[in-house]
Every structure is written in C-alpha cells, then in structure tokens.
Amino acid sequence: MNHVGIGYDVHRLVEGRKLILGGVEIAHPKGLEGHSDADVLMHAVCDALLGALGESDIGHFFPNTDPRWQGAPSKTFLEEAARQVKFRQGAIVNIDATIMAEEPKVSPHVAAMKENIALALGVNVKRIGIKATTNEHLGFVGRAEGIAALAVASVDLPD
Ligand code: MG
C-alpha cells in the first residue's frame, strides 16, 4: 500500500555558521542556525518519511536538547528514517522536495544534494526530486532571513 507524508522545515540564516543544504556545503556569508547542522532540506525530507509512516516528527527522534545531536550531520537523521521504513518492511518509492531560498543560488548544487540524500536513504538517485525557488522577495524567505524546505515522500508499506 502506498503511503505519503509531508515535511516542512525552516531555519534562520545567521552569520558565523556554515550553510549546509542537502549535505552540500555552499559558500555563503551566512549559514543556517540550529542545534544540528541545520540542514533544512534533509530535515523536511526526514519529516516527510516519518509522516508517511505515521510517526512523530524529527524532533521526537532527535531532540534539540540532546547534546549528541549538537552539530550532527543531518544525514544521520535520514539514515534513521530509512531504518524506520525498513523496520516496517517498507520501501521508499520516491521523495520530492522544494527549497525556498532568496539567496544563495542553490540550483547548481541540486545534483550533489540528490546524491547525498539518495546515499543516506539507500535508494537510487532517480527516486529523489529536488527543486529550488526564490520567494519573489516576499516574506521572511524573500528578505533572506531564512531558508525553508517542503518535501513529500511516498513509501510502499505492507498495510
Ligand atoms: Mg530543522
């Protein structure tokens, strides 16, 4: 049976942090603030997968009060989501995600992001879709105060 899930995440852009998106370090004067590496794309994908399983969100599995996840690479969270899918004898059908960022330009990095996410989830890269858009200068994303990401996941489960 096909199950779908949705994930949304946003992190604030601040000075003094590396910008990590989809596991790719992108040269930029600001990075995303957060307890882990604050990879907003991977967090949205993680929540989409957990949502497809009817599970709680990423914060339940990886509380931001736990020092183990401080500065953690977010691929750890994706690996755990993939383990949760396997635990239920499920299989990831596909992932699709959109990054909303006024800056920097992320489209040159999309191929590498797909590779990183496919690797962390143990699926063929053809099953990972990533798109990027600006917010047309509207709202907090449009003012480059933060970056947001939306993701959907389709998971084939036994019931
Ligand atoms: Mg997050």
Domain boundaries, given as residue ranges, for the chain: 2-156
What does pTM read for this prediction? 0.96
For 50-70, how does the pLDDT look when each residue is reduced to its tens digit (9 = 90+)? 999 999 888 888 888 888 888
Interval between CA 157 and ligand 1 midpoint (Å): 26
Interval between CA 88 and ligand 1 midpoint (Å): 25
Interval between CA 64 and ligand 1 midpoint (Å): 9
CA distances from 53 to 2, 18, 48, 101, 125 (A): 10, 31, 9, 28, 21
88's CB contacts (< 8 A; 6+ apart) are: 53, 157, 158
Topology, domain 2-156: 60s Ribosomal Protein L30; Chain: A; (3.30.1330)
Give the percent of the chain with pLDDT over 70: 100
Interval between CA 136 and ligand 1 midpoint (Å): 23
- pLDDT at 71 (0 to 100): 84
